[in-house]
Structure 1
Amino acid sequence: MNWQNPKQQAVSLLACALFASSGQAAEFNWSGFLTLAAGKTLSGSVQGQNEVGINCPCMISDFSQSGVIDSSWDFAADSKLGLQGNLQLSEQLSLTAQLVSRGARDWDPNLEWVYAGWQLGDSDLIQVGRKRLPLFYFSEQQDVSFTYPWVHLPPQTYGWEAVNYNGINWNHSFQAGDWSGLVNTFAGSETRKDNDYMKIYNGIDSETDTRWRKIIGAEVLMNRDWFEGRLMLMKSDTQSRLASDNADWSAPTEQMLFGASGLIDYQDWIVSAELFFSDRTESYGRDLAYTLTTGKRLDGWVWYLTHGLYQQKINAMNPLELTTEADQEKHRLSSAVVRFDVSSAAAVKIQLDHWQDGGGQWFKQTYGDANALSISYDRVF
């Protein structure tokens, strides 16, 4: 399956949609979101400029977009502005596009989503184009910070090389007694050039390309009253190349990704858990990540405590010649967050993070331990 780049997709989808809906009145709606977030490390075990060119003490707040908080107050790591437009061409056919500008990427606008949707009856929806890869519970709204508790999503869980994919998905909703359910199956591919995720490891001036092919997966969501649960399974081939060194693509290797989450929102209490596991035995080994959160509503404020872990297990005989002592990555993050909703569309958050490193020599010497403070204003419009 050979998917086009986002700009080519936008033109193709628009042409097809306009042809299919000729003679019908179209309706356009738009929405947006904004996060102004300032962050600063208070202390840390690494001092000065590290190996990849970041001034430390420093803490990674967003692996996927290379968002890093350093020792100076800065809006770059977690601030963003997004606009989403929806063109309803008929009762069945629509076009959606989303443009996001991030501080972590020098505010360059990026076309994150562009897809066409066909509604097949009341329960089935097919979407074709560029969408968010549904690896995690908050994947679809991960840019809309107003929708979740934290200033930045827990980086131990929400950090991976690929964020979007080009392909097709089918949503099927159903009712099973008192339970409401949704099954989302998806397939496609993704090539991410100058991958921001890899700048965390290869240097802020490096250029690394990532390619995921033969993506196929499914997620199931079930909810009833105050509980919601989710399971996800995905398989693909993965490759990379260090383009700044004119390196060739690595040989394709298989990966299996598994995710599970649960959310309880009962009266004034909120409890959530998310687990993520990857099997990359053909490449280097396996990854395990989890996040646990407890929240309490109190006099208009919501108070949260979160703890997360990310841990690698490197195979002794791996083609990348990684070793446990030097290269294995393991770290924990404990966070305290307080949120106040200014209105039904705006919130202020304050977050205190404690990052504790327990991995090999490279990560310990490059990032190490850190304590950070972040403050944000989130708005949807």
Structure 2
Amino acid sequence: MTLLHSRFALTGLVGLAAAAFTAPALADDALQLSGFASVVAGKVLSGDRTEPYFRYDCPCFIADYSHGALYSERWQAKQESKVGVQGTYTFSPKLSATAQVVGRGVDGVKADLEWAYASYDVNDSWTVQVGRKRLPIYYYSDFQDVGFAYTWVRPPADLYGWEIVNYNGANATYRGDWAGWAAKANFFFGSENSRNNLMQRIYYDTPQNVKWKNIVGGDLVLTRGVLTTRATYIQSDVQQWDRSTGERVTPATDSPKSAEKQRIYGLSANIDWHDWMVRSEYSVFDRHGYSYRSQAYMLGIGRRVGDFTGLITRTNYRERNTFAPNGQQHDSGYSATLRYELNGSTAVKLQWDRFRDMSGADLSYVGNSRLLSVSLDTVF
């Protein structure tokens, strides 16, 4: 599907969803509404960078790369607080339309359309969807905004977070049983154009436009007993421009290529055994055209005791770039999380994070820091 065709499909779908949500209900249960909300507050306890980092006050801690959320030494409640509402209208047993709008405190609670797609159940095993969805780079990508769905205040930032979050296109999902393993396979393609990209605000002093074209990928989730595993592969063409000058950043202006090739690999394995849990994930971003490759992992071990859950997590992120060996980002972290279930739909969390900056001497990055954060997460 070309970018133009993706836009036509998305525009038509949004119109369809809007018409469905405003039309009189054909049946009492044709329209289903749900939502989620998180109120998150955080404060940097200590850090070794005292001068500002671009537009951010320091000492500082990056909590969400994808949306440009950083904490400073004063208590802040807007960086990760959010509210989302999702509606699904069922036209028939096989056809439905879904839309989700999310407002985030970090950008002034501006309502953004995160999901807008139509679903058609081909049979009991296959579902086809067309529209706008979350790009499934990571294990928690599909429900990363729903804080109630995981133990942490936020999925580990060393691993979770990249410049593109959503895509416009189509996907086909298969569900079945493979010799006792519950299998879910997803295949997708599309594109995304991000103007004034939120993650690039962390790395550039001027606004940046980022485009991922020809996105193609798939992921496979296998579950059996206490174990859930996931593997993913995504490839795309990447372009980036400086909005203020119009100059191309990726690929460089002197490159004969019009776009840079990218490949993403990911593996995860999660265990839930009685009251114990293990959370692990590993990802690679490979842009070998200019000798760039990043690796990131996280490993967490926790236990549930009544309404409380404790989780200790270790993370690491490292870049390799032969063109800029002293400008590579390298950081690691530890976090300790305590979650308390207020009821079946609301939880309170307390989390302590330690971030260690080991980046190259030529990269003036955010430095070491420690963060304390608390959240109230609910679904409705």
User: 1:336/1:5 Cα in 2 relative to 1: closer, same or farther (>3 Å)?
Assistant: farther
**Superposition deviation, residue 103 in structure 1:** 1.2
Instruction: Say yes or no: does 1:85 pair with 2:110.
Output: no
Q: Secondary structure at the match of 1:245?
A: coil
**Superposition deviation, residue 149 in structure 1:** 1.1
Once residues 248 and 379 of structure 1 are traced to their aligned partners in structure 2, the CA distance between those partners, rounded to angstroms, is 42
Task: Letter of the 2:217 partner, please give it.
Answer: G
34-43 or 239-248, which deviates more: 239-248
Quote the residue 1:319 is aligned against.
none
Once residues 92 and 313 of structure 1 are traced to their aligned partners in structure 2, the CA distance between those partners, rounded to angstroms, is 47
Once residues 71 and 40 of structure 2 are traced to their aligned partners in structure 1, the CA distance between those partners, rounded to angstroms, is 11
Q: For the aligned residues, what is the CA RMSD?
A: 2.1
Q: Which string of whole-angstrom CA distances, capped at 9 and with x for unpartnered residues, describes residues 281-329 of structure 1?
A: 113410100010101112321000001101000023xxxxxx121x200
Superposed counterparts of 1:209-248, under 5 Å: 209-248=209-248
Q: Secondary structure at the match of 1:104?
A: helix
Quote the residue 1:8 is aligned against.
11
Quote the residue 2:269 is aligned against.
262
Quote the residue 1:207 is aligned against.
207
Quote the residue 1:113 is aligned against.
115
Task: Give TM-score, length-normalised by structure 1.
Answer: 0.92
Instruction: Say yes or no: does 1:42 pair with 2:41.
Output: no
Q: Check whether the contact 2:218–2:233 (CA below 8 A) recurs between aligned residues.
A: yes
Q: Check whether the contact 1:24–1:90 (CA below 8 A) recurs between aligned residues.
A: no
Once residues 200 and 249 of structure 1 are traced to their aligned partners in structure 2, the CA distance between those partners, rounded to angstroms, is 16
**Superposition deviation, residue 177 in structure 1:** 2.4
Quote the residue 2:366 is aligned against.
367
**Superposition deviation, residue 10 in structure 1:** 3.8
Once residues 8 and 100 of structure 2 are traced to their aligned partners in structure 1, the CA distance between those partners, rounded to angstroms, is 15
Once residues 367 and 332 of structure 1 are traced to their aligned partners in structure 2, the CA distance between those partners, rounded to angstroms, is 13
Once residues 11 and 378 of structure 1 are traced to their aligned partners in structure 2, the CA distance between those partners, rounded to angstroms, is 28
Once residues 161 and 6 of structure 1 are traced to their aligned partners in structure 2, the CA distance between those partners, rounded to angstroms, is 23
Once residues 285 and 114 of structure 1 are traced to their aligned partners in structure 2, the CA distance between those partners, rounded to angstroms, is 33
Quote the residue 2:136 is aligned against.
134
**Superposition deviation, residue 76 in structure 1:** 1.7
Q: Secondary structure at the match of 1:240?
A: strand
Task: Letter of the 2:38 partner, please give it.
Answer: T
Superposed counterparts of 1:50-69, under 5 Å: 50=53, 52-69=54-71
Q: Check whether the contact 2:357–2:365 (CA below 8 A) recurs between aligned residues.
A: no
Task: Letter of the 1:224 partner, please give it.
Answer: R
Q: Secondary structure at the match of 1:373?
A: strand
Once residues 18 and 58 of structure 2 are traced to their aligned partners in structure 1, the CA distance between those partners, rounded to angstroms, is 49
**Superposition deviation, residue 238 in structure 1:** 0.5
Task: Give TM-score, length-normalised by structure 2.
Answer: 0.92
Quote the residue 2:150 is aligned against.
148
Once residues 304 and 277 of structure 1 are traced to their aligned partners in structure 2, the CA distance between those partners, rounded to angstroms, is 25
Quote the residue 1:298 is aligned against.
305
Unaligned runs of 5+ residues in structure 1 are 317-322
Quote the residue 1:98 is aligned against.
100
Q: Check whether the contact 1:13–1:115 (CA below 8 A) recurs between aligned residues.
A: no
Q: Check whether the contact 2:17–2:116 (CA below 8 A) recurs between aligned residues.
A: no
User: 1:362/1:68 Cα in 2 relative to 1: closer, same or farther (>3 Å)?
Assistant: farther
Unaligned runs of 5+ residues in structure 2 are 251-257
Q: Check whether the contact 2:85–2:101 (CA below 8 A) recurs between aligned residues.
A: yes
Q: Check whether the contact 1:6–1:111 (CA below 8 A) recurs between aligned residues.
A: no
Once residues 214 and 72 of structure 1 are traced to their aligned partners in structure 2, the CA distance between those partners, rounded to angstroms, is 42
Q: Which string of whole-angstrom CA distances, capped at 9 and with x for unpartnered residues, describes residues 171-197 of structure 1?
A: 000102221101100001111111100
Instruction: Say yes or no: does 1:32 pair with 2:25.
Output: no
Return structure 1 stretches of 4+ with deviation > 2 angstroms.
Answer: 5-18, 23-26, 244-251
